[in-house]
Amino acid sequence: MTAPTLVIGNKNYSSWSLRAWLFLHASGVNFEERRVPLDTPTFKATMAELSPTGCVPVLLDGTARVWEALAICEYMNDKHTLAGWPTEEGARAMALAICHEMHAGFAALREELPMNCRARRTGVNPSAAARRDLDRVMAIWEGCRSRCAENGAFLFGAFGIADAMYAPVVLRCITYGVELSARASGYAAALLAHPSLQAWIAAARAEPEVIGHEERGSEVSA
Amino acid sequence: MTAPTLVIGNKNYSSWSLRAWLFLHASGVNFEERRVPLDTPTFKATMAELSPTGCVPVLLDGTARVWEALAICEYMNDKHTLAGWPTEEGARAMALAICHEMHAGFAALREELPMNCRARRTGVNPSAAARRDLDRVMAIWEGCRSRCAENGAFLFGAFGIADAMYAPVVLRCITYGVELSARASGYAAALLAHPSLQAWIAAARAEPEVIGHEERGSEVSA
């Protein structure tokens, strides 16, 4: 069986690519990776051939194509019987809900604090809407950790799809210096230490492309 | 076992409520329904007690709470082993992808053509962005129907989660007189004839509340 190919954007910038990649990589499932850098003259034409939405990420699995990061996680979770969801019913319900909430929501947070793994930014003041988004994310992390703290360091104990979905928010908090509660900070540290996320960040730091107004000089080591 | 309660908004206006309700109702699974009318002085306080996001729909299942319409569908599909997803792998991949695409996308379409089951509107001219959304929806319906036409009248043959997710778009096309291709029109007619959707529309027409600038006099029979 040929391994599926996950098509992703720049590791430094593409938060949706990170979500799908992180779950697959952390789960140990076999997949190839193809990087299509964003914001280049050929991006649009290349992606138009790979995905009906023209966006990254997309998974090419034989004749099947799966787009939308959460759909990719669920597809691979089901196909390979991975441990993406908690087994306990109430925790599983919460995990499904917060993953879909992340997938469809937090527009202000995503707009104002774009992912930029390797950068550190000061002086970014979130709007009231982005602040509400951040407060809601903190409430989610607190709620999950207070419920599942005895089972492990991640949102529902063991690493799962929910952690993949919120990983870019952890990276944004670091990039923009968002103040975290003790519990949220502990979660962020645990996720940041995950070998798969570390591998992603290392690759992001090695990428040559710079998009927009990023000043490479402002970067510090993670 | 106590039946879960699905908390919904007005049937005339709440497209996300329709998605969750329609899948549960069409699947024949046992559930209670609680309607919390939108845009009332008590809505916010009532919903704050029922869901961490304060939004409809939310499913109350014992101590478990599930918010986000697609999460509710997936939770109940798994718990009761319903037939929400196609069984064939490629079709299942596509169903997952288009459901997540609907859940997270089509912002212009949702903003400019709000659901209003019982109304018929003329003179609404979609923006270029909303037009692109509609074109993409049509491409999805065409793609699904050309793939699965021999298995039944719905997107993947038999009724499933994908039909529930796109049902409000069918209703919007009717309300705003969106021109459909023959194949898309056939799909819309099949979905509209589904007894569960008919029951929802009948209840929407019987609701007393009028929100915003709706002119009741402009209504015609569906």
The full length of chain B comes to 222
Q: A56: exposed, middle or buried (C-beta count within 10 Å: 0-12, 13-18, 19+)?
A: buried
Please say whether the beta carbons of A67 and A53 come within 8 A. Answer: yes
Residue A79's pLDDT band, with cuts at 50, 70 and 90, is very high
The C-alpha atoms of residue A38 and residue A21 are separated, in whole angstroms, by 16
Under 8 Å CB-to-CB from B188, ≥6 apart: which residues? B170, B173, B174, B180
Q: Which residues of chain B have pLDDT under 70?
A: 213-222
For the stretch B99-112, pLDDT in tens is: 999 999 999 999 99
* Mutation site, A58, A63, A68, interface B, largest B CB count within 10 A: A68
pLDDT score, position B221: 41
Where do the H-state alpha helices sit in chain A? Answer: 15-27, 43-50, 69-79, 89-104, 107-112, 128-148, 161-175, 182-192, 195-206
Cα–Cα distances in Å, from A20 out to A45, A171, B50, B86?
22, 15, 31, 22
The C-alpha atoms of residue B73 and residue A121 are separated, in whole angstroms, by 40
Please say whether the beta carbons of A58 and A65 come within 8 A. Answer: yes
The C-alpha atoms of residue B201 and residue B195 are separated, in whole angstroms, by 10
Which residues of chain B neighbour A102 with C-beta distances below 8 Å?
none
CA angle at B110 for the pair B104 and B113, rounded to the nearest 5°: 165
CA atoms within 13 A on the CB side of A185: 6
Task: Return the amino acid letter for B136.
Answer: R
Q: Which of B149, B188, B193, B144 is nearest to B170 (CA)?
A: B188
Residue B27, both tokens: 């699947």
The C-alpha atoms of residue A108 and residue A106 are separated, in whole angstroms, by 6
The C-alpha atoms of residue A175 and residue B91 are separated, in whole angstroms, by 39
Of B68, B94, B140, the CB nearest to A100: B68
**Does the beta carbon of A61 lie under 8 angstroms from any beta carbon of chain B?**
yes
Higher pLDDT, A175 or B213: A175
CB atoms < 10 A from the CB of A149, how many? 13
| Interface contacts A/B by beta carbons within 8 Å | 85
The C-alpha atoms of residue B159 and residue B23 are separated, in whole angstroms, by 9
pLDDT score, position B219: 47
Helix axes B195-206, B182-192, angle to 10 degrees: 70
Residue B214, both tokens: 């709706």
CB atoms < 10 A from the CB of B35, how many? 16
Give ipTM to 2 decimals: 0.94
Mean pLDDT of A156-160: 97
**Does the beta carbon of A99 lie under 8 angstroms from any beta carbon of chain B?**
yes
**Does the beta carbon of B71 lie under 8 angstroms from any beta carbon of chain A?**
yes
pLDDT score, position A219: 47
Residue of A nearest to B61 (CA): A90
The C-alpha atoms of residue A65 and residue B101 are separated, in whole angstroms, by 13
For the stretch B30-67, pLDDT in tens is: 999 999 999 999 999 999 999 999 999 999 999 999 99
Mean pLDDT of A77-106: 97
The C-alpha atoms of residue A66 and residue A75 are separated, in whole angstroms, by 8
Residue A101 to residue B53, Cβ atoms within 8 A: yes
**Does the beta carbon of A132 lie under 8 angstroms from any beta carbon of chain B?**
no
**Does the beta carbon of A143 lie under 8 angstroms from any beta carbon of chain B?**
yes
Residue A53's pLDDT band, with cuts at 50, 70 and 90, is very high
Tell me, what DSSP letter sits at residue A153?
S
The yes-or-no verdict on residue A214 having pLDDT over 60 is: no
The C-alpha atoms of residue A103 and residue A15 are separated, in whole angstroms, by 11
Residue of A nearest to B64 (CA): A90
The yes-or-no verdict on residue A3 having pLDDT over 80 is: yes
pLDDT score, position A126: 94
Of B65, B93, B103, the CB nearest to A66: B93
Of B68, B94, B140, the CB nearest to A97: B68
Mean pLDDT of A186-197: 97
Residue A148's pLDDT band, with cuts at 50, 70 and 90, is confident
Q: What are the beta bridge partners of residue B64? A: B61
Of B79, B90, B104, the CB nearest to A68: B104
Where do the H-state alpha helices sit in chain B? Answer: 15-27, 43-50, 69-79, 89-104, 107-112, 128-148, 161-175, 182-192, 195-206
